Amino acid sequence: MWPAIIGCIILLMIKLTIDHRQRRLKNYPPGPWGLPVLGNLLSINRLVKKTRFHFKAWRKLADVYGPVLRIRLGITKPLIVVSGRQAVLDFLNRREFDGRPNRFELRNNGKKMGIVLNDGQDWIDQKRFLLKALKDFGFGKQSMEDLVLQDVEMLCDIVRNQMLDKAMDVHDFCEITAIAVVSSLWNLIAGRRCDPTKEEEGMLKILRILKESFRSGSAAGFLWQHIPILRFIMPKYSGFSEHQKRVTAMLHYFLEEVSEHKKSRSPGNPRDLIDRYFDEMDAKKHEEDSSFSELQLVAIVQDLFSAGIETTSNSIGFAIAYLAKYRDVQARIQEELDRVIGDEIPRLIYKDSLPYLNATIAEVSRLSNVAPTTIPHRAIVNSSILGYDVKKNWSVIGDLRSVHMDPNHWSEADVFRPERFIDPSGQFLSDPWLMSFGAGRRKCLGENLARISLLLFLARLLQKFQFSLAPNEGAPCLLGVNGFTIAPPHISIVVKLRR
């Protein structure tokens, strides 16, 4: 038995070595040499450990190999990392890169479902339905603003009653912020708001699991995805077991929510998105090629929940961290709020009259890079990027941080300076190089809600409270915590009441 196994391994190594040399003769993107079977796994891992961040690893490789580089992780197909605005926009705006990788999808029994990880006609059908349904339930309308403002007031009450005048980690602040941020979206999805002061243990547990998932991964994927056999022979070491536990817990939570809706719904009278989806399933039940199903619904609910909370709550946390460190910027925003709004509740009608707040949000987004890369795309046909050949089914990620930190466009790119987004007349200056929500058909569906939430949450928090570093903090680094998304740094802050 063992001689046969060893022989197979040797043959596989020989084949991969030959394939690797053949690829060198073609017009494929350049990249580092890798080992048979393992590819560049070990070298990338060492680079991430040394730099502490995946985005720094991509940056160092791009400095050597250029804006379009190729790496191989394990036995899977090559991963193309695209850097710089020209290359990133080139692939994001082309339909031939709208696919998602054919990776093992644990939550859907190996099938692509939902919105974020789906592609093809199923993705188009689900996206079309979702956009219309959310719009019908107030997404992007005045009613959406009112829902967000309720959550803003809820968060302010919690801060006032539980968090004043004592040192706390920004991450603890983000945990409470997260449930307030998701509340209005959850109201559209499931017909009820979330309140951390009430019985929300299930929701809080899911939020913590979600955070763990984002911290444990990266856009490059997991070890067990690169070498799938590790799922069976080394499930714990490869991280598969923990990932499976998290996915199962989240799946059960959302399955239960959908099941409860199924029992209590009144067909034709939808209360929320879940009910509307069941109505759509009823309407299409005789269509053989319909992609509408309960499992599809569960995947969509999970996608909306995950995408709708992580980036927005982290962005608010980063903003608080930056303003606690740069008190002069905080004071200028508060002067603007006092002058423009006074004691009134912030609303979107004031948006254009708050240029410095808008500029600060833009600058925090640029520097924090909560989503440093795009979610992996997949080439659905043989194609090319900047003249380099990219084969069908190869994965591609765009390094958004490379655009936001490009020194050729941003003067003193590492410096926190909101004024770069203010024009000579004192108005907010939008910059097309800021692309925190991506671009193309895969651009974030929740961009509008995220922008509304960031503006209203931060305006009200800064109107009511002052944020400062705890006495023992000194001059903290604000790069954040590595993961699939970047979390705010572990720094201690103190919140005081303004009025």
Q: Which of 80-89, 111-120, 371-380 has the lowest mean pLDDT?
A: 111-120
- The answer on pLDDT for 155 being more than 60 is yes
Question: pLDDT at position 104, please?
Answer: 56
The pLDDT confidence band at residue 143, using thresholds 50, 70 and 90, is: confident
CA distance readout (Å), 466 to 90, 356, 470, 474, 493: 43, 17, 12, 18, 10
Per-residue confidence (pLDDT) for residue 51, from 0 to 100: 93
Task: Give Cβ neighbours of residue 432 (< 8 Å, ≥ 6 apart).
Answer: none
* HSE-CB for 185 with a 13 A CA cutoff: 26
For residues 185-210, give the mean pLDDT: 80
Q: Cα(113)–Cα(107) distance, rounded to whole angstroms?
A: 9
Strands (E), 94-151: none
Looking at residues 463-490, what average pLDDT do you find? 92
List Cα–Cα distances, 222 to 73, 216, 451, 481, in angstroms: 10, 9, 31, 18
* Residues, the chain: 499
Q: Which amino acid is at 272?
A: D
273-277 mean pLDDT: 94
Name the band, by pLDDT with cuts 50, 70 and 90, for residue 260: very high
Q: Is 106 or 135 the better-scoring residue by pLDDT? A: 135
- Identify whether the C-beta of residue 292 lies closer than 8 Å to the C-beta of residue 277: yes
The answer to whether 35 and 17 are in contact (CB under 8 A) is no
Token pair in block for residue 356: 């410095």
Look up residue 68 and give its DSSP letter: E
Q: Give the model's confidence band at 5: pLDDT under 50 very low, under 70 low, under 90 confident, else very high.
A: very low
Band (pLDDT 50/70/90 cuts) for residue 138 is: confident
The per-residue pLDDT for 329 is 98
d(C-alpha 129, C-alpha 126), whole Å? 5
Q: Where are the beta strands (DSSP E) in 44-151?
A: 68-71, 79-83
171 CB burial (10 A radius; 0-12, 13-18, 19+) = middle
Q: How confident is the model at residue 9 (pLDDT cuts 50, 70, 90)?
A: low
Instruction: Examine the pLDDT at 3 and tell me if it is beyond 60.
Output: no
Mean pLDDT of 312-317: 94
Residue 161 has pLDDT above 50, yes or no: yes
444 is in an annotated binding site: yes
Query: For the segment 10-64, what is each residue's pLDDT rounded down to a tens digit?
Result: 545 554 554 555 455 479 999 999 999 899 999 999 999 999 999 999 999 999 9
Q: Is the pLDDT of residue 7 over 50?
A: no
Exposure string over 309-318, b if 16+ CB within 10 A, otherwise e: bbbbbbbbbb
Min mean pLDDT across 78-87, 214-223, 231-240, 341-350 is at 214-223
Q: Which whole number is the average pLDDT over 388-410?
A: 97
Spatial CA neighbour of 176 closest among 452, 446, 457: 457
Query: Please, is 411 exposed, middle or buried when counting C-beta atoms within 10 Å of its C-beta (0-12, 13-18, 19+)?
Result: exposed
On average, the pLDDT of the chain sits at: 89
User: Within 13 Å and on the Cβ side, how many CA atoms surround 281?
Assistant: 15
How deeply is 79 buried, as exposed, middle or buried, from its count of CB atoms within 10 A (0-12, 13-18, 19+)? buried
Per-residue pLDDT, averaged over 388-404, amounts to 97
Predicted confidence band at 1 (pLDDT cuts at 50, 70, 90)?
Answer: very low
Average pLDDT over residues 239-254: 90
- Percent of the chain's residues with pLDDT above 90: 66
* pLDDT of res. 261: 92
Looking at residue 310, its pLDDT comes to 84
Q: How far is CA 231 from the centre of its chain?
A: 25
Residue 409: the pLDDT is 97
The DSSP output letter for 479 is -
Q: Kindly report each contact of residues 42-45 with a partner whose C-beta sits within 8 Å and lies 24 or more positions away, as own/partner.
A: 44/71, 44/73, 44/220
* Residue labelled with tokens 């809080």: 204
